[in-house]
A and B are shown apart, each in its own frame.
Chain A
Amino acid sequence: MQLLKFLLAVGVSVSLLFLCHSHQPFSLPFPPLGKLFSPFDGFWQNADREISGVRTLNLKGTKEQVQVIFDERMVPHIFAQNDEDLFFAQGYVTAMHRLWQMDISVRATSGNLAAVMGPSVLERDKLQRKKGLLMAAENAAEAFAVSPLDDKIGAAYTAGVNAYIEGLSPAAYPIEFKLLDYKPEPWSLLKSAIFFKSMAESLCARHQDLASSNTLEQWGRETFDFLYPEYNPKQSPIIPEDVEWNFGPAAMNEDSPTPETISSLYQHKTFPLPSEFLGSNNWAVSGKKTADGVPILCNDPHLQLTLPSIWFEIQLHTPELNSYGVSLPGTPGVIIGFNEHIAWGQTNVGHDVLDWYEIEWKDEKKEAYIVDGVPKPVSLRYDTIEVRGAAAPHIEVTRLTEWGPVVYEAEGEAYQDLAMRWIAHDTPSKKDFYEVGTFYHLMKGKNKGDYFKALTGYDSPAQNFVFASEEGDIALQVNGKFPIKKTEQGRFVQQGNRAESAWSGFIPREEVPKVLNPERGFVSSANQHSTSPDYPYYYLGGFDDYRGRFINEQLGQMENVEVQDMMALQLNNHSLKAREALPILLAAMDSVSTTGGANKILQILREWDYRYEANAQAPILFDKWFSEAYQLTFDEWKAPSEKMNILYPEAWRFISLLEESADNKWFDVQETEEQENATSVLRSAFQKVVEAHQDDLEDKEFDWGHHKGTRIGHLGRIKAFDSDLVYTGGTGDAPNAIKPRHGPSWRMIVTLGEEVEAFGVFPGGQSGNPGSPYYDNTIETWAKGEYYPLHLMKGPSDDSVKPLIIYTIN
C-alpha cells in the first residue's frame, strides 16, 4: 500500500513535469507551461526592470576599450577606437535588443521556419528556397567575403552578435524563443547577406509578367495599349525633365525589334507578391531655398509597420568616423543617417528586375532545356530543410537554368514551366566593396565625391539615394544594378527557348539616372518614374503617380524653408489623387437633386480639402465612391479562371478616362440593358456610397482614423504583442503615407549647418522585448507627428545626452 502511494506520487510528478516541459504536448498549441511560468526561467524574466547606471563587460573580441552610452530613449551611442571594435559593439548591442527579430527575419527569408515551427510552414520554406533566396544570399556572402572591407566589417559585427549569444543564459532568451521553445543560433556573414535579400524580396521582387500576358491575350493589343500606358503624362519624374543625357544606350541595338512574346494564358497560381504598399519619400533642399542658407535633407521610408520596429537607432563613433541614423538589425552600419558633413537617405526604385521565361524541355525528364535549338543541361540544387518533429529533413530539388531557377513547374505534366530571372540572384561582379561597404563609405563621407564613390558598391535592391552636404551640394542617384532591356522586354512572359530573350547586359553605373545641384534648388523622389521617357534606356515597373508630383509641387513653391516646413510636408495628408478625381466625381452630381443622407454626403465632399485627416469623414466617402465607380467601369475584368492573374488599369488611367473619354465603351455596365457612360457610372456609384454610409454619419467613430484602423502588428503575428489602434490620418497617395499596416517607418530631417541639427522618429521603440517600456514608447510621439532631437555626440562625455546606462566593454 505504502509502495503504491509512493509510486503514484512519483508517476504523477514525472507525467506532469514532462507535460509542462514539452513543446505543444499532444499537438495542443501550448508552449512548455512549466518552463514558461517559472519566474526563474520563463516570461517573468523578460519583465524588464528600470535599469540605469554603469556596467563593465569583459568580452573577448575587442582590441581596445569601447564605451556604449544608452540615452534616455535607449539609443546606443558607441565610442570605439577602431572599426573592428565599433562593429563588434554594434552587433553586440543590436543582439541585446533585437535578437529574436534578427533570427526570425533570417529564417523567414531563407526558408528555415519549419525547423522551429514544424510542418505547417514547410510549404512556405520550400517556396523561399525555390525562389532562390538562400542561393542569392550565398552568392552575395561569397562576394562580401572576398572584399577586404565588407569582410572586415561583417566579421566584426558577426563576432559581436555571437559574443552576446554566448553570454546568454536560457532565462534571458527573448520571450519569443521561450514561446516557440527554441534556442538562438550563432550569427554569420551569410545571415547578414540573407537580411539584404529579405530587403530585396520586399522591395524589388514585384512583377506582373503573368498578369500582363494573360490580359494581353484576353483583350488584344489595342485595348492593352489603350488601358495600360506605361507613362503618366502628368508625371513629375525623379530626375527633373530638363536634365539632358549625354550618352546613348551603350550595349543596346536600337533597331532590335520588341522581343516576341508568347501568346497564351498562364494558369499558374502565383506566389504571393510583396506588398504594393511599400514606398517612401526623400528630398533635399539646397541652401538657396532655406532660411538658414544650408541644405536640409529629409527621408521617410514607408514599410510594413511592425513590432519590434524594423529600424534600430544608433550612433557609431571612432576617431575617423562619427555617424548617426537608423540601422537594420542584422546588418552592420547606418542605413539612413548623417554625420557632421553629409546626410543620406533612400526610397525604393520601382524598376522591374524580375522576369519570367517559359522553358522548353528537351523531353519529359526535364534534364535539359532548349535554347536556339540546342539542348542545355539543367543543374540541380538540393536544399535541405529541417522540419521540427519530423523524422528526416525535407530535400527540395530545384532545376537551375541560365534563366534562373525553375520556380513554377509541375512534375510529369504538360505545363508551362517558368524560370525566374531576378537581379538579386546574381553574384555581384568583382568590386572593391559591396553593400556593407557602401554604408561604411557613406558614414565616413565628407562630400559629393565620397557619396558617388560609395554608391558604386551597391547593387540591390535598387534605391533612390538622396544626398546633401555641408559644402552645399544636393544630389540624388537612382542607384543599383539595372538590366538593359529592349522595349517592352520583361513586360510579358518571354520565350526561354531563344537566346535573344536575354537581358543584353547592365546599365553602366555612370549612366544610371542622377542629378546634382539642379536649377530648381531641390531633389526629391517618392517612388515615381525615375526619368521622363527620353532617358536612353528602356525600363518598366511599378511607379507611384501622386506623392512625387505633390511633393515636387510643394517644394517648388517653397522659399525660406525651415525645419518646421519640412516636418509639415512629411506629415501632409493631402491626396493629389483626391484633388484630381473628386471634382470630376462631383461634376456628375451637378444636375441631380438629392435629399437627406445623400445631400449630407455631397456637402461633406464638396467642403473637403482633400486631406485624409484622422477626424474627417470625407476620405471614407471619397474612397468608397472612387472604388465603386472603378468596379462598375471595369466590371468586364474577370479572369477566365480563379487561378489566373490579370492586370487592372491604374488609378490615374481611370481618372483620365473619366476626364477625357466619358463615353468610352468600358463605362457600360454589363449587367444592365442601358448604355452607361462615365456620368451614369459615377451616379450609380454614388448611390452605393449613400446606401452604405448614410446611416453612419452621426456615428462618433465614423471617421478616417477609426476606419483606416492602423495597428502595428508583432513580427511573429503574436496578437498579444501588437499595438492598439493608432489613431492617425494619412493615406498612400499623400506624403504622410500611413496605411492600415504600412507607413512611414522612420521620419528624419537633417540640416547641414556648421552644427548638424537632426530630428527623427519611428513608431515602436528601441527594444524588441514586449515586456520593456522601450518596446512601443515612441508610437504616440510618431502618431502625433512629433519628432525627437537626434544627438550626434562629439565624445563620450558630451552633455547633450543624459546617459541612462553606460557600458564599458573591455
Chain B
Amino acid sequence: MRNLVFVFLMVVIGAILHQFLPWWSIWCAGLVTGLVLSADGAIRALAVGILGGALLWGGYALWLNLQNDGLMASRIGELFGGLGPTTLLLLTALFGGLFGGLGTLCAYLGRMLFQRSLAADSLK
C-alpha cells in the first residue's frame, strides 16, 4: 500500500518535472522519488520506479492516442517496421519504466551508501 503511494507520488513528480525539463525528466522523477522513498530493498525501489515511469509514460501516451484515433501511432508504427499502436504504447511504457526504474534505483543505492557511511561514522 505504502509503495503504491510512492508510485502515485512518482507519477505526480514526473508530470511536474516534464513541464520544465526535457524527456529525461522521467529519470529525474525516479531520482527524487527514490530519495524520499523508504523502500525496504533495491528490488522494491526499482519496482516503484518502473511502475511509476511506465504508468506515467504509458498512461499519457494512451490518453493522447485515444484522442487521436490512433492516427499518429499507426504512422509511427509503420516507420518502425509495421508495429501496431498497442505495441507502440507498450514500448512507450517500457521506456518510461526503464528510465523511471533506473532513477529510483540510483537514488536508493546512493542513499544506502550515504546512510552506511553515516552509520559507519557514528560507530567510530
Contact = CB atoms under 8 A, between A and B. Distances in A.
A16 B99 contact: yes
A34 B99 contact: yes
B32 interface: no
B91 interface: yes
Interface residues of B, number: 39
Given A13-B103, A720-B78, A771-B75, 8 more contacts: A5-B109, A34-B99, A37-B92, A41-B18, A41-B22, A44-B92, A47-B72, A718-B79
B3 interface: no
A193 to B, nearest CB: 33
Contact of B71 (A2, A9, A48): A48
Contact of B24 (A17, A45, A49, A719): A17
B89 to A, nearest CB: 9
Most chain B Cβ neighbours within 10 Å, of A16, A39, A40, A48: A39
Contacts of B5: none
Interface residues on A, range: 35 or more
Nearest to A33: B95
Contacts of A718: 79
Contacts of A37: 57, 91-92, 95
| 10 A-B pairs with least C-beta separation | A771-B72, A47-B68, A38-B23, A720-B78, A47-B72, A720-B79, A39-B61, A40-B18, A6-B109, A39-B60
B12 interface: no
A13 B67 CA distance: 33
Interface in B62-120: 64-65, 67-69, 71-73, 75-79, 91-92, 95-96, 98-99, 102-103, 105-106, 109-110, 112-113, 116
A168 to B, nearest CB: 15
Contact of A9 (B26, B68, B109): B109
A21 interface: yes
Nearest to B77: A720
A732 B105 CA distance: 64
Nearest to A12: B102
A718 B77 CA distance: 12
Given A9-B102, A48-B68, A720-B79, A34 B23 contact: yes
22 contacts: A9-B109, A16-B99, A16-B102, A34-B23, A35-B23, A37-B91, A38-B96, A39-B57, A39-B60, A39-B92, A40-B18, A43-B76, A44-B60, A44-B64, A44-B72, A47-B68, A48-B68, A49-B68, A720-B75, A720-B78, A771-B71, A775-B71
A432 to B, nearest CB: 47
Given A9-B109, A10-B106, A42-B23, A47 B95 contact: no
Contacts of A33: 95
Contacts of B95: 20, 33-34, 37-38
Contact of A13 (B25, B57, B102): B102
B93 to A, nearest CB: 10
Contacts of A775: 71
Nearest to B17: A40
A33 B73 CA distance: 15
Contact of A772 (B27, B42, B71): B71
Given A16-B99, A39-B61, A48-B72, A2 B113 contact: yes
A3 interface: yes
B60 to A, nearest CB: 4
A17 B24 CA distance: 7
Interface in A748-782: 770-773, 775
Most chain A Cβ neighbours within 10 Å, of B60, B75, B77: B75
Interface of A: 2-3, 5-6, 9-10, 12-13, 16-17, 20-21, 33-35, 37-50, 170, 175, 179, 718-721, 770-773, 775
B60 A40 contact: yes
Contacts of A10: 106, 110
Nearest to B78: A720
A771 B22 contact: no
Given A9-B109, A13-B103, A47-B67, A38 B76 contact: no
A42 B80 CA distance: 15
Interface in B13-38: 18, 22-27
A790 B89 CA distance: 40
Most chain A Cβ neighbours within 10 Å, of B25, B26, B109: B109
Nearest to B112: A2
B39 to A, nearest CB: 14
A755 B78 CA distance: 47
B76 A13 contact: no
Given A44-B61, A48-B71, A35 B22 contact: yes
A42 B72 CA distance: 11
Contacts of A771: 68, 71-72, 75
Contact of B23 (A9, A12, A40, A175): A40
Contacts of A175: 72
A10 B102 CA distance: 8
A13 B30 CA distance: 11
